[in-house]
Structure 1
Amino acid sequence: MKHSPKPCYVIGVISVVVILGSVAECRRFNGIEYPAINCRKHSAVLTDFGGVGDGKTSNTKAFKYAISNLSHYASDGGAQLVVPPGKWLTGSFNLTSYFTLFLQKGALILASQDESEWPPLPVLPSYGRGRDAPDGRFSSLIFGTNLTDVVITGANGTIDGQGSYWWTKFKQNQTKLTRPYLIEIMYSNQIQISNLTLLNSPSWFVHPIYSSNIIIQGLTIVAPVDSPNTDGINPDSCRNTRIEDCYIVSGDDCIAVKSGWDEYGIKFGKPTEHVIIRRLTCISPDSAMIALGSEMSGGIRDMRAEDITAINTQSAVRIKTAIGRGGYVKDIFVKGAQLHTMKYVFWITGSYGSHPDNGFDPNALPQITGINYRDFTADNVTYSARLEGISKDPFSGICISNVDIRLSQEKKKLQWNCTDVSGVTKNVTPQPCDLLPLKTEAHDCPYPTDKLPIDRLQLQTCSL
């Protein structure tokens, strides 16, 4: 539905007027339109709250001040904060509900490298400790919790995490708290992150967690391929997530679907389910295009991916788990992959042994079943597959059909290395291992024809 133009609204709160004198004057942006889950009635610009876009002045207070005052409009059609062209240095700041953060073309948010501008947060309950260090973690650059209807978008504006400071500390084992993420939204519903360029996150880029009804579209995510743990998009204990039209260059997995770590994830018990990924392009020489796990102790179910491309990437879709994880990965469907220069096409790891502590239950065995891959083409491949289940806990229901793998000059003699797995294959070259015998039925591996609820959500056309 087209959002009809609204008159500009002056945002007048006594505290703002006292400090700034005048605020949120009427602005026009030459009819800029953008798609969003919801449009906003009120608008303001960061400069109305003291923002200085010189790349040197801290805007942390300006962002916090603007969002605090715009939060008053949550019950009156919501508000959008426009970041205009310029270089906007800032530390961590929190979003509010019924709110849009819009980065205009030419707007560059620069993450501060001053640790005092990154408040500490407690560890995530489904993890039990920080990923880098046990005692807590830094807030992400853009953070929100217990929100409804939040949009982070733009006209391909840029957010640069300036992560080199943090990567050096991590590599030198100097991190006392887990490095910040670029964007993290927790315990929230109706999230949109779209049409932005994200660069050089200190750690993971986009981390929705304990949330639902999430749309992530049109992101360009880039970090050096040797940067540590710079995962692109990590839906974590989330329900109904749609990831589309993203280009990711990463030092870790381009997309990693997660749901908690060992006994903490089992206790928290919140799975990730109903995820659709389409039109993804990934470059990650040391990691996966799409990883499931390794933190999957709350379970991962009903993940669908289609029309995906990997270039110079370690593996296409990798399942990572271990004894002690518990949980499950099931009902996974992938079709239509174009792969170029890969170490592995198919990789399942049952011995991914990193644990938060020694309290994991050795009897907590993961259930891996219902894994369906079809319609893959791959060239310049070293290994076709490494499929490693767990002794006395075999991974079952693996189906692979219509796959053409062309090998590199450095190809390994053993192309299909399979242990403790079972399933079937059809029309696959090179010939698969004996544990995945030829399927005699005429049908290919299944791919669901129904639409997920998040696919039914249509974006509105909004304007500045």
Structure 2
Amino acid sequence: MDIQVIYQGIRNIVFELQKEGVYETTEYEVFLNNEPVLKSSKIVESIYGLKPDTSYTLYLKRGEERSGEITFTTVKESFTLNVKDFGAKGDGIKDDTQFIQAAICSCPEGGRVFVPKGIYKITSIFLKSNLVLEIGKGAILSALTDRGLFPVLPGLIESYDETQEYNLGSWEGNPLDSFASILTGIKAENVVICGEGTIDGCAGFDNWWKNPKDKNIAFRPRMIFLNHCRNVTVTGITVQNSPAWNIHPYFSQDLRFLDIKVLGPANSHNTDGLDPESCENVEIAGCYFSVGDDCIAVKSGKIYMGRKFKVSSKGIHIRQSLMQDGHGAITLGSEIAAGVYDFSVTDCIFRDTDRGLRVKTRRGRGNDSVLDNILFENIKMDHVKAPFVVNSFYFCDPDGKSQYVSSKEKLPVDDRTPSIKSLIFKNIQCENSHYAGAYVYGLPEKKIESLVMENVSISYAENATTGVAAMMIGCEPTCRQGIYLNNIQKVVLKNVTVTGCTGEAVECQEVDELKRF
């Protein structure tokens, strides 16, 4: 067993096993300074309860097998500020917002704000730079649900001379008024949110999920909203029952999400797990998602934000994670007006999601909306209804079902036309599929440039259900459909097998070049 420490904090670390499987492995025991501290079967695991500025030796044992020993030193700490010392009760009744906020505002550089065991009723907590916020084991930040208690982040504020805009609030790719999130960071740097505790949005169908698309004072808050932040690490915590998207990094850079859980009921509204929007250099590793919408959805704004700021999402890399019960395991779009580049998903499990890879784009997103260098490799899918869906006619927005968006005719290419360049799917096993193995449909006037599928196997559930693979006009319900490809310049299929489909294993329409090996 080879191990690597991938994060060192003040009182915790995160380590990762190398070449031991996908997300989980055979159970092992963790030893620190020759003492056993926990048992686990996760590829990415955390250790808490460490001392600051202290050296430790770490190794793992599995029966008679023992890993090599590595040494690490935790980060120095100046002071710990316990929120109870600032007046927080943690009794599940009293509003503790101002007391936790006071601790955060008072925290010196190199310090830690600690939330001990208890239930802390809160609204919006604002982060600041150079902060470690640890939500301890048994601690729950439990959100209130009265809209009148939450601050509003205005979508756009004009400068006095009307030459500049200050964007605070965001809703589904547009600069719109939204409630401040449970944890909100505005231009914060060097922030760590960690711990074994939970952030609970307490959303339900009698509050935030009632009439979810309606603006009521402002649009719904997220659980964690990071607006123009840099160097933020989130480790260990559980995030659940969000009013809307769970974690929403927005125009932010250098972000890490390690060994976290994001949970929500399967029927909850718009509870995406993690949605990086116009973000760069994002690492997601060892995370578990089970939500009511897309598990991870990468975005870069609707047309206004994409055209004005032209900030794409790029350098986003996901590994050793499990996506379960969402609409899409991994989604690109639909708000991708500034494009997505250099994106990879490796060593992951998709289980019981509606779709595995889900690309959602459409005419009107604009010519800056380019998807390029998209890689999925070493993925296991089980009971994913449609493993690969690339939809260039996604019928979102008020004009989503208009003739312009839905027409399959070749329309003129102009500044409203998006494009998809390189898609690579390698070493992927799809078992118990339902609707279709793959449904890839590009624009006739701007075909997908390249699709490579290598070492991909697709089989179907014994009692496969019938459904619509892509949310687009003209996509009919299917069951056990094979690989359907339309409007692609070049397709390479190498060692691709489809077992148990009805009809042709591979059906191509308007594919300029097809290579099969």
TM superposition score normalised by structure 1: 0.82
Deviation digits for residues 253-287 of structure 1 (CA, Å, limit 9, x no counterpart): 111111111233222210111111001111125x1
The answer to whether structure 1 residue 300 and structure 2 residue 340 are counterparts is yes
One-letter amino acid of the structure 2 residue matched with residue 415 of structure 1: G
Alpha-carbon contact 1:108-1:158 (below 8 Å) kept: yes
Q: Residue 134 and residue 244 in structure 1: after superposition, are their counterparts in 2 closer, same or farther (change >3 A)?
A: closer
Structure 1 stretch displaced more, 167-176 or 270-279: 167-176
Kindly indicate whether the alpha-carbon contact (under 8 Å) linking 1:261 and 1:355 is maintained by their aligned counterparts in 2. no
Report how far residue 437 of structure 1 moved.
2.7
Q: Secondary structure at the match of 1:355?
A: coil
Aligned to 1:47: 84
Change beyond 3 A, Cα 1:4–1:32: closer
Partner of 2:60: none
Task: Tell me what 2:514 maps to.
Answer: 437
1:190/1:128 Cα in 2 relative to 1: closer, same or farther (>3 Å)? closer
SS in 2 for 1:169: coil
Alignment of 1:85 with 2:117, yes or no, is yes
Identify the match of residue 393 of structure 1 among 446, 456, 478. 446
1:419 is aligned to 486
2:93 paired with 1:56: yes
Distance 1:146 1:40, change over 3 A: farther
Question: What letter is aligned with 1:99?
Answer: L
Unaligned runs of 5+ in 1: 6-28, 441-464
Q: Aligned equivalents of 2:342 and 2:142: distance in 1?
A: 36
Letter in 1 for 2:488: V
1:167-188 CA-partner distances (Å, limit 9, x unpaired): 4323484734211000011111
Separation of aligned partners in 2, 1:4 and 1:217? 15
Q: Relative contact order (alpha carbons < 8 A, sep ≥ 6): 1 or 2 greater?
A: 1
- The alignment's TM-score, normalised by the length of structure 2, stands at 0.74
Distance 2:331 2:126 in 1: 29
Paired position in structure 1 for 2:128: 96
Q: Which residue of 1 aligns with 2:373?
A: 331
C-alpha distance in structure 2 between counterparts of 1:432 and 1:126, whole Å:
47
| Distance in 2, Cα, partners of 1:260 & 1:217 | 25
CA contact (8 A) 2:52 2:75 kept: no
Deviations 1:409-452 (A, max 9, x none): 43726422322123211111224333373345xxxxxxxxxxxx
Alignment root-mean-square deviation, CA: 2.9
Who is 2:393 aligned against? 351
Q: Which moves more between the two structures, 415-424 or 390-399?
A: 415-424
2:431 matched residue in structure 1: 379
Report deviation, 1:39: 4.8
Give me the whole-angstrom Cα distance separating, in 1, the residues matched to 2:265 and 2:225: 21
Q: How do 1:220-239 residues align onto structure 2 when only pairs under 5 Å count?
A: 220-239=261-280
Cα deviation, residue 379, structure 1: 1.1
Report the counterpart of residue 316 of structure 1 in structure 2.
Answer: 356
Query: CA, structure 1 residues 254+37, in 2 after alignment: closer, same or farther (shift >3 Å)?
Result: farther
Mapped to 2, the partners of 1:79 and 1:141 lie a distance apart of 21
Q: How many residues align?
A: 409
Question: Would you say the 8 A contact 1:111–1:161 is kept in 2?
Answer: yes
Q: Is the 2:8–2:73 Cα contact (8 Å) retained in structure 1?
A: no
For residue 129 of structure 1, report the CA deviation from its aligned partner. Answer: 6.5
Please give the secondary structure, in 1, of the residue aligned with 2:375.
strand
Match of 2:148 in 1: 116
Cα contact 1:59–1:90 (8 A) shared by 2 = yes
Q: Which residue in 2 is equivalent to 1:364?
A: 416
Shift of 1:107: 0.7
Asked if the contact 1:40/1:100 (under 8 Å) is kept, the reply is no
8 Å CA contact 1:399–1:424 kept in 2: the answer is: yes
Q: Per-residue CA shift, 1:72-122, capped at 9, x if unaligned?
A: x23xxx321000000011010101110010011111110111223311112
Look up the match of 1:16. Answer: none
Q: Is the 8 A contact 1:127 1:260 kept in 2?
A: no
Task: State the Cα distance separating 1:322 from its structure 2 match.
Answer: 0.6
Are the equivalent residues in 2 in contact too, given 1:316–1:345 (CA < 8 A)?
Answer: yes
Report the counterpart of residue 292 of structure 2 in structure 1: 251
Q: Secondary structure at the match of 2:484?
A: strand
Specify the SS of the correspondent of 1:433. strand
Aligned 1:189-228 pairs, distance under 5 A: 189-228=230-269
CA distance in 2, matches of 1:425, 1:300: 24
Residue 46 of structure 1: how far off its partner (Å): 0.3
What corresponds to 2:459 in structure 1? Answer: 406
Give the direction of change, closer, same or farther, for the CA distance of 1:341–1:100 in structure 2 (3 Å limit). same
Report the residue type matching 1:369 in the other structure. K
Give CA deviations for 1:147-201 in whole Å, capped at 9, x if unaligned: 11000001x2111110114443234847342110000111111100110111101
Q: Is the 8 A contact 2:175 2:305 kept in 1?
A: no
Change (3 A) 1:3 1:362: closer
Identity %: 28
Deviation at 1:354, TM superposition (A): 2.2
SS of 1:438's partner is strand
Q: Secondary structure at the match of 2:105?
A: helix
Offset at residue 245 of structure 1 (A): 0.4
